[in-house]
Amino acid sequence: MADGARLIPPPIAMLAELTHRCPLSCPYCSNPVDLARREAELSTEDWADVFRQAAGLGVLQVHLSGGEPASRRDLAQIVAAAREAGLYVNLITSGIGLTEERLTEIVAAGVDHIQLSVQGTRAETADRVGGYRGGFAKKMEIAEAIARAGVALTLNAVMHRHNLGELPEVFDLAERLGARRVEIACVQFQGWALENRAVLQPTRAQVDEAKDLVAEARSARAGRLVIDFVPPDYYADLPKACMGGWGSTGLNVAPDGTVLPCHAAQTIPGMRFANFRDLTLEEIWYRGPAFAAFRGTDWMPDPCRSCDRREIDFGGCRCQALAVLGDAAAPDPVCRRTEGRTRLDELLRAEGNAPDLEAARWRRIGG
Compare residues 68 and 313 and give the one whose CB is closer to ligand SF4: 313
Sheet containing 259-260, strands listed edge to edge, beginning at the edge strand earlier in sequence: 226-230, 181-186, 152-159, 113-118, 88-93, 61-65, 13-17, 250-253, 259-260
Give yes or no for a contact between 47 and 87, defined as CB atoms under 8 angstroms apart: no
Q: Count the site residues for ligand FES by CB under 6 A.
A: 10
Dist. CA 220–CA 222, nearest whole Å: 6
Q: Which stretch binds ligand FES (CB under 6 A): 104-112, 146-154, 212-220, 261-269?
A: 261-269
Q: What is the DSSP string of 147-168?
A: HHHT-EEEEEEEE-TTTGGGHH
* 335: contact with ligand SF4 by CB under 6 A: yes
* 63: contact with ligand FES by CB under 6 A: no
Dist. CA 61–CA 50, nearest whole Å: 13
Kindly state the smallest distance separating residue 263's Cβ from ligand FES, in Å.
6
Kindly state the smallest distance separating residue 89's Cβ from ligand SF4, in Å.
34
Q: Beta strand 250-253 with 259-260: parallel, antiparallel or unpaired?
A: antiparallel
Kindly state the smallest distance separating residue 10's Cβ from ligand SF4, in Å.
24
Residues 214-253 that bind ligand FES (CB under 6 A): 242-243
CB neighbour class for 101 (10 Å; exposed up to 12, middle 13-18, buried from 19): exposed
Residues 120-159 that bind ligand SF4 (CB under 6 A): none
Dist. CA 227–CA 182, nearest whole Å: 5
Burial pattern 47-84, b for ≥16 Cβ within 10 A else e, equals: bbbbbbbbbebebebbbbbbbbbbbbeebbbbbbbbbe
Q: Give the x/- contact pattern for ligand SF4 in 217-246, rule: CB under 6 A.
A: ---------------------xx-------
* 315: contact with ligand SF4 by CB under 6 A: yes
Kindly state the smallest distance separating residue 3's Cβ from ligand FES, in Å.
27
CB neighbour class for 44 (10 Å; exposed up to 12, middle 13-18, buried from 19): middle
* 333: contact with ligand SF4 by CB under 6 A: no
Indicate which single residue of 62, 317, 324, 344 sits in contact with ligand FES (rule: CB under 6 A).
Answer: 317
Compare residues 19 and 338 and give the one whose CB is closer to ligand SF4: 338
The residues binding ligand FES (CB under 6 A) are 190, 242-243, 262-265, 317-319
The residues binding ligand SF4 (CB under 6 A) are 238-239, 303-304, 307, 309-310, 313, 315-316, 331-332, 335, 337-338
